[in-house]
């Protein structure tokens, strides 16, 4: 019940295309769903996050779509650029005085020039 399933494992998109990464969860106690971007040798950086009472959130070229009834959420990267090439992790969080993150396994995105 604590798992977050992420797909695809890897993704190649042409420059200017749309990158889509999907995640699914089981535990309805999760109350926060962040996406992290990680470049090789660096720490994960928060990209965008959403709470389950919102169906969509957009920040620049990045959009999260959230389907509470299906227990699924996805990241869309519009106009993908080579600089977006990185590993993306979805996560889900439960609060207990601190946040306990459950990560997906990650998606390696390569945007070809």
Partner 1 sequence: DTEVTQTPKHLVMGMTNKKSLKCEQHMGHRAMYWYKQKAKKPPELMFVYSYEKLSINESVPSRFSPECPNSSLLNLHLHALQPEDSALYLCASSQGGQGLSETQYFGPGTRLLVL
Residues forming contacts to partner 1 in the complex (CB under 8 A) are: 31-32, 34, 36, 41-46, 49, 51, 87, 89, 93-101, 103-106, 108
Q: Which residues pair with 76 in a beta bridge?
A: 20, 63
Q: How far is CA 12 from CA 18, 36, 53, 77, 79, in A?
A: 10, 18, 32, 12, 13
**Identity of the residue, 51 or 68, whose beta carbon is nearer to partner 1 in the bound complex:** 51
> Is 17 or 52 the residue whose CB approaches partner 1 more closely?
52
Give the nearest distance from C-beta 79 to partner 1 in angstroms: 25
Residue among 17 and 105 whose Cβ is closer to partner 1: 105
Task: Give the nearest distance from C-beta 47 to partner 1 in angstroms.
Answer: 11
Helix (H, G, I), strand (E, B) or coil at 82: helix
User: How open is the CA angle 88-6-34, to the nearest 5 degrees?
Assistant: 55
Contact 79, 20 (CB under 8 A): no
CB atoms within 10 A of CB 77: 24
Shortest approach of partner 1 to residue 70 CB, angstroms? Answer: 21
Closest distance to partner 1 from the beta carbon of 98 (Å): 4
Q: Cβ closer to partner 1: 9 or 113?
A: 9
């Amino acid at each position: 019940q604590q798992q977050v399933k992420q797909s695809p494992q890897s993704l190649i998109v042409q420059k200017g295309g749309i990158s889509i990464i999907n995640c699914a969860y089981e535990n309805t106690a999760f109350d926060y769903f962040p996406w992290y971007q990680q470049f090789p040798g660096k720490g994960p950086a928060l990209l965008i996050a959403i709470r389950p009472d919102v169906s969509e959130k957009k920040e620049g070229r990045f959009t999260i779509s959230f389907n509470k009834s299906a227990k699924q959420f996805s990241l869309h990267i519009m106009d993908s650029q080579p600089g977006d090439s990185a590993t993306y992790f979805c996560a889900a969080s439960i609060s207990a005085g601190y946040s306990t993150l459950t990560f997906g396994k990650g998606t390696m995105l390569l945007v070809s020039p």
